[in-house]
Structure 1
Amino acid sequence: METANKPVAVVTGSNKGIGLAIVESLCRKFSGDVVLTARDVGRGESACAELLRQKGLKPVFHQLDITDDGSVRRLAAFLQSEYGGLDVLVNNAGIYVLAKCEKSPAEKARITMETNFFATHRVCQVLFPLLRAGARVVNVASGLGRLSKVGNESLQEQLVSPQLTESDLLGMARDYVAAAANESGDTAPWPADSAYSMSKVFLIGLTRIQARDVTAARPAHSILINSCCPGFVDTDLNEHRGRLTVEEGAETPVVLALLDKESPSGQFYKNTQVCEW
C-alpha cells in the first residue's frame, strides 16, 4: 500500500476556525499526509474541497466525533490500515457554551467537560498506541485554563503534584462535575460557573501527566506532548469577538506539532514560548 509508513498528522475538529488553519499550515510544512476531521461528513469534505480549490492543498478527510467511541475507533483503524501509525496528533476539537445559553450551570459543566476533557482523554487512549517514535501531540488549551483559575490552593497543589496519576486527575474532574451539579449552587472547593476554564485546567494537567508517563514508558522514542494557548482568536466559539486571526491562532499549535527532538515535553505554551501554567 502506497501510504503505508508515510508520515501522517491528525487534527481534530478541523473543518473550520483554528483547526482548519492548523490543517492548512501543516499541509504546507509537514512532510506527510494531513487528516482533516469533522463530525459532519458534508462539512468536512467541503472544507477539504475548498482547500484544494483555493489553495491547491490536499488534506485527507476522515469523519470524527470525539464524543463517539465508535467514531474514534474507526479513525484509529483507518490510521493503522493506511499508515501503520501516527506521527502528529493535534487535539483541537472543543466547545464553549455561551453565557446567554439557557442551560443550567450543571448542564454547562457536564457538556463542556465531556467534550473538552473526557472525550479528548479517550481520543488519546485510543490513538496513543499508534504513536511512532518522534511523534508530537498538541493539546489545544487556553489561557483561561491557568492554574490560578482553580482558586483553591489545596486543589492547585494536587494538580501540580508529580505523584498525580491519570486516574487521580480523572477522579478530580468527575468531582468537579458533581460539584457543579449541586442544586444549592455551592460548588466548593471548585469555582462556580467556570466550566470552560476548568475543562482546560484539566486538559493542561492531563498533558503534564501524559508527557511524564509516555517518556517513562518509551524513553528512546522522543515523543513530545505539550499544550498551548492559541490566543483570543476570532472564531465561532466566541461569536467572533477575538482579536487574532485564525492563522495567528494556528501558529503555536503548528510550532508544537513540528518541534525538534531537543524540545521539552509536558509544557504549556503561549506565543510559541513556554510559559507558566
Structure 2
Amino acid sequence: MAEPETTKRYAVVTGANKGIGFAVCKQLASKGVTVVLTARDENRGLEAVDKLKQLYLPDLVIFHQLDVTDPASITSFADFIQSQFGKLDILVNNAGIPGVNVDGEALVAAKALENGDQIDWSKIITESYEQTEAGFKTNYYGAKELTKALIPLLQLSTSPRIVNVSSSMGKLEKIPNGWPKEVLSDVGNLTEEKIDEVMNKFLKDFKEGSIVENKDINYNTGYLTPDEGAESIVRLALFPDGSPSGCFFVRNEEKPF
C-alpha cells in the first residue's frame, strides 16, 4: 500500500557523493525517507545515487546538482524541491571543504607514532588566504544561504529539522581569547551581522598577515567510519517534535560549544 502523500518525508543532504554525506543518505533512505543527494560534480553525484539505488527502492534516492557557493545554483535547487515535493522535512548541511593543504605522508607518519606525543600540525598543514576564503564561502556562507532559500519549504513541514555538520574544532573553546570569542560567546545577543563581522575581520587579518597560528591545539581526536559518523546525524535528523534544538552534539551527546 502506497504511503499517503501527507506522511512522506523528504530530506536534502549536501556534499553527499561520498563519505559521511553518502552514509547519511543511505541511512535515511533505509528508514523510508526520500532523499535528495546533492554534489557539485554531476557525474560523481549520479554514480553515488546509482550505488544507493542498488540497495533501496529507486524512488527513495534522487540526485540534483548543487553548488552551495553559487546563488543561481541555490535558487534553481530550491525551485526543484518546491516543484518536486512542495515541502522539505530535513536539511543536512554537510557540504564542506578543508580549506588547507595536508601533507598526506607526513600525516600518516605522525599518526603511526604511538609514544603519546602531540602532533605538530604546522609541519603537516599549510593554509593560504585563497583556501581560507574558499572554506568560508562553502562551509559558512554556503550553508547559510542554502538554509535561507529552503526555510520557506521547511516551514511547510509538520516536523522540520536542520542538521549542520561540523566538528569539534568549531567549538568556542578552540578560539583564542579576544574580541572574536567575546562576540561569539554572547549567544543571547548574537546576530547574523555580528557573525559576518567576525568572519570578515578574520579574513582581513589573515590577508594582512596578522593572524598568528595556534600550534598548541590538539587535533588528535578519535576517528569514525562514515557510517559511524552518520549515525548521530541521522538520529538528530529524525528527532521528534519537542526534542532539543539549537544545540551542539558530539556523536550522540549534547555538549557545550
- Structure 2 length-normalised TM: 0.80
Match of 1:172 among 198, 213, 219: 198
Partner SS for 2:81:
helix
The Cα shift of 1:57 comes to 4.6
Q: Following the alignment from structure 2 to structure 1, what is the Cα–Cα distance between the partners of residues 153 and 171?
A: 30
Match of 2:53 in 1: 52
Unaligned runs of 5+ in 1: 198-230, 233-241
1:70-104 Cα distance to aligned partner (Å, 9 max, x none): 11111100111111111000000001122449975
Match of 1:214 in 2: none
Q: Following the alignment from structure 1 to structure 2, what is the Cα–Cα distance between the partners of residues 143 and 33?
A: 29
1:215-269 Cα distance to aligned partner (Å, 9 max, x none): xxxxxxxxxxxxxxxx96xxxxxxxxx7321100101111110011121111000
Partner SS for 1:134:
coil
Amino acid at match of 1:42: N
Q: Following the alignment from structure 2 to structure 1, what is the Cα–Cα distance between the partners of residues 236 and 102?
A: 31
Amino acid at match of 2:140: F
Say which one has the larger Rg.
2
Match of 2:230 in 1: 250
**Residue 58 (structure 2) pairs with residue 37 (structure 1):** no
Identity %: 39
The Cα shift of 1:110 comes to 0.8
Q: Following the alignment from structure 2 to structure 1, what is the Cα–Cα distance between the partners of residues 245 and 101?
A: 32
CA contact (8 A) 2:17 2:44 kept: yes
Unaligned runs of 5+ in 2: 104-123
**Residue 124 (structure 2) pairs with residue 98 (structure 1):** no
CA contact (8 A) 1:13 1:38 kept: yes
The Cα shift of 1:164 comes to 1.3
Q: Following the alignment from structure 1 to structure 2, what is the Cα–Cα distance between the partners of residues 193 and 75?
A: 39
1:168-190 Cα distance to aligned partner (Å, 9 max, x none): 111211111111111xx212xxx
The root-mean-square deviation of aligned C-alpha atoms, in Å, is 2.5
The Cα shift of 1:159 comes to 0.6
Aligned length: 225
Match of 1:85 among 87, 93, 99: 87
The Cα shift of 1:50 comes to 1.1
Q: Following the alignment from structure 1 to structure 2, what is the Cα–Cα distance between the partners of residues 8 and 193?
A: 42
The Cα shift of 1:7 comes to 2.3
